[in-house]
Structure 1
Amino acid sequence: MRKTIFSLLAAGLLYSCGEKPISVDYTAMTDEERLEIAKEIAQSTIIVDGHMDFPLRMYNSGNDLNGEVFDFMTRSNEGNIDYVRAKEGGVDAPFMAIYIAASYQEKGGAKVLADTLIMMVERLVETWPDKLALARSPEDIEANFKKGLLSLPMGIENAAAIEDDLSNVEYFYSRGIRYMTLTHGKDNLVGDSSYDDVETHGGLSEFGKQVVKEMNRLGMIIDVSHITDKTFFDVAEISEAPIVATHSSARSFTPGFERNVSDEIIQKLAEKKGMVMITFGGSFLDQAYSEANAANRAHIQEWLKENNLTYRDESAQEYIRAYTADKKPVVHVSRVVDHIDHVVNLVGIDYVGLGSDFDGVGDTLPEGLKDASMYPNIIAELLKRGYSRADIEKICSKNFFRVWKEVEAAAKS
């Protein structure tokens, strides 16, 4: 009976005298009661996550070289996602980031690596077709959800993957890629990176402008995470379709951090009918955490140099754990919702979603949000702040589906 009541509360279907629905005040509940309802919502609502670096984790395991399939089905103590934790947290469509490090722009092999990572995702689905499925559209994700399958849509992180050949945009679209992040850690042939001070092109390059138009033509979502403000506004001027920041947070909380999106960019995203998907890394969420993390990193790099060690050395890992144990401010899952609040207050509920960057931000994740099993903690915090079931569904997937469909419609027109 208790489970049934919570199910009805989560769905907003409790009725008085069989006639009118009861208005549920989630803010008046205890944290434990809200979390139970949040878990129910997470399981019954499609949750899309805009960005996870799991394919690189697979690649770094070396399994692809050994001809083995990465064990995604077993709960792991490594990384932030596996099938068990994904199902526990209710995430249904984590976008697999086909990540290309900036070094491949110089040494070559970017397209080959992208193909390898795509192949590894495909092999997961081929190995466990009763649990996993690829997804190339919102309709695919909805159909997979009804079948109880975990969708693995894909996006390329760093347009270096297309190298200098515009036809590779269509090639990767045909491979199932549905968004592309234009840059990563360095300026590339497409445009300028927020992490690079060179400003090679002063925004989008001429080649980059062709890439944007080609993505519009194909119906591939343009991801504006990682690019400079100037590059963003060049994209916004040229793109005829909505644009998305798949894993960025609000710069208002981290002044001067160009990797996060400014209020002006959030407003332009909304004007373009796009959205920002809030990312979870502590340095993206909180200025004090970011400053402490930067100070720790500087000290550790100097210590490693003095001791002729690398991050991977066991003795270095022990030192790093001991040194940083009490030197980082605590960031809570509530800080993610602070960023959601900021976007909602600035432009409305229709322009925000979730983009964790799981497996890409190391040990910087907030308390209550360490892995894919913990999405209900976000939902519980949203309920605590007065968000409705309909609001939460928008944040979890409906906003992104709207954008995706509008990108597809722009391509058809």
Structure 2
Amino acid sequence: MKGRFPLSTCALAITALFSTFTLSEETKTYSASQQAKNIAKETIIVDGHIDVPYRVKEKWVDVTKATEGGDFDYPRAVEGGLNAPFMSIYVPASLDNSPESTQLAHELIDSVEAIVARAPDKFAIAKSPSQVKMQFEKGLISLPMGMENGSPIQGDLANLNDFYERGIRYITLAHSQANHISDSSYDLRRKWKGLSPFGKTLVTEMNNIGIMLDISHVSDDAFYQVIEITKTPVIASHSSLRRFTPGFERNMDDDMIKALGKNGGVIMINFGSSFVTKAAGQWRTGLTNARKALIEKEGEDSPKLATFDEDYRKKVPYPYSTLDEVLDHIDHVVKLVGVDHVGIGSDYDGVGDSLPIGLKDVASFPNLVQGLLDRGYERQDIEKILSGNLLRVWQQVEDYAAAH
């Protein structure tokens, strides 16, 4: 998650991998067949959430070329068949209720436009499903944009219109703290007991203008209030299932997924290990508690803090999740509400060195396709998971706005 994993550690995940990985405790390897590679190449792949803009803000790299670190660049996207990644316009909660949040959002949109300007033969902004499809036919990677944290709206619907005009096509209502729109799943204060009065108005306005509602990060009460108010399907752009991570409210429970299915929406599965397995979340808690204990013992100036995370990882190895466990999340959604309501929201470049074995970067999508084939999914259903479901919701949101 942003602010919790140093981006530099992503380099540790980029090994000689692209389509084959070996499990440390098993002899099993993940490798993609030619059939899986062909499906990945021939199908639009929409990833609901990739944090390239904030990554290049923190440390600039040219993702139109191969990069040493991170999870995304043009050559690896081509290798994996990824051709419609939503660029996350992520604004930290620390900037909530400040003009700086609005400014940062515009600067991050500028950075996406700059990527396209540097390589118009490789990338293109996408503001509609039809543009994604047209650009796919031209061999271009589409860069639609979603705003992670509604803070930059600052309670002003003129800002909502500005961001729509610049290409924002979903808004994650809150992030790690309650803002002026909604309570957050991470924030125990429950300031609004769901949505704020402005937040309730915003849901209707987003419906009317044609921006998808993203309920990742919001509290359970806020989720159900969105579902009650909205006239269009909603998305969870990068969330996984609480069934596999008990107590982790950032993920969705079975009742929420059923409500999402009834709404016609899509949950887009997050690949971060702590979203996928209970063990990874417990490891993170253990790290936090150990750091607190060191600070209590030796103070904030302890020299051990400089290398604490690295030292802790050596003593207590990180329990990476696996591609198979990610597939378990997809399977469970399909069993609950059907294949029409699940997609992919990897959180690449946003979860640092916590990605599953078999899904270490954007070159790994053929492995995911292979896993789905191995579990008996037909090609038409794989195509729904890879992009069809999200493109359907996006089109429905556009159609509603056009009629209102």
Relative to the length of structure 2, the TM-score reads 0.89
1:334 aligns with 2:324: yes
- Within the alignment, does 1:184 sit opposite 2:182 as a pair? no
1:128 pairs, out of 119, 123, 132, with: 119
Q: Distance in 1 between matches of 2:365 and 2:311?
A: 29
Q: Which one has more relative contact order, counting CA pairs under 8 Å at least 6 apart?
A: 2
Residue aligning to 2:23: none
* Corresponding residue number in structure 2 for 1:163: 154
> Partner of 1:324: helix, strand, or coil?
helix
The Cα of 1:320 is off from its aligned counterpart by 2.5
Partners of 1:206 and 1:33 lie apart in 2 by 50
From 74, 87, 90, the equivalent of 2:81 is: 90
Gaps of 5+ in 1: 1-29, 64-69
Matched, 1:320 2:309: yes
Q: Secondary structure at the match of 1:178?
A: strand
RMSD of the TM alignment (CA)? 1.9
How is 1:14-413 mapped onto 2 (pairs within 5 angstroms)? 35-61=33-59, 63=60, 70-303=61-294, 306=298, 308=300, 318-325=307-314, 326-413=316-403
What is the identity, as a one-letter code, of the residue corresponding to 1:149?
A: L
SS in 2 for 1:247: coil
Q: Which amino acid aligns with 1:93?
A: A
Counterpart AA for 1:44: E
Stretches of 4+ aligned residues off by more than 2 angstroms: 30-36, 300-310, 315-323, 325-330
Task: Give the Cα separation in 2 of the matches to 1:350 and 1:173.
Answer: 27
Amino acid aligned to 1:52? I
Contact 1:34–1:384 (8 Å) recurs in 2: no
Larger Rg: 1
Pick closer, same or farther for the CA change 1:410–1:38 going to 2, 3 Å.
same
Residue identity in the other structure for 2:352 = G
Q: Are the counterparts in 1 of residues 41 and 81 from structure 2 also a CA contact under 8 Å?
A: yes
TM-aligned CA deviation for residue 362 of structure 1: 1.1
- CA distance in structure 2 between the partners assigned to 1:327 and 1:34 by the alignment: 27
Under a length normalisation based on structure 1, what TM-score does the superposition of the two structures give?
Answer: 0.87
**What do residues 165-187 of structure 1 show as CA deviations (whole Å, max 9, x unaligned)?**
12211110011100000000000
Provide structure 2 residue ranges, at least 5 long, that are not aligned to the other structure: 1-27
Query: How high is the sequence identity, in percent, across the aligned residues?
Result: 46
* Separation in structure 1 between the aligned mates of residue 326 and residue 234 of structure 2, nearest angstrom: 21
State the alpha-carbon separation in 1 of the partners of residues 137 and 120 from structure 2.
Answer: 15
Shift of 1:84: 1.0
Q: Deviations over 1:186-210 (max 9, x none)?
A: 0011110000001101111110011
What CA distance in whole angstroms lies between the structure 2 residues aligned with 1:183 and 1:106?
12
For the residue of structure 2 that corresponds to 1:398, the secondary structure is: helix
Across the two proteins, how many residue pairs are aligned to each other? 374
Check the 8 A contact 2:99/2:152 in 1, yes or no: no
Q: Which residue of 2 aligns with 1:11?
A: none
TM-superposition CA deviations, 1:201-235 (whole Å, max 9, x none) = 11111100111111000110000000011001110
C-alpha distance in 2 between matches for 1:75 and 1:300 = 35
Offset at 1:107?
4.7
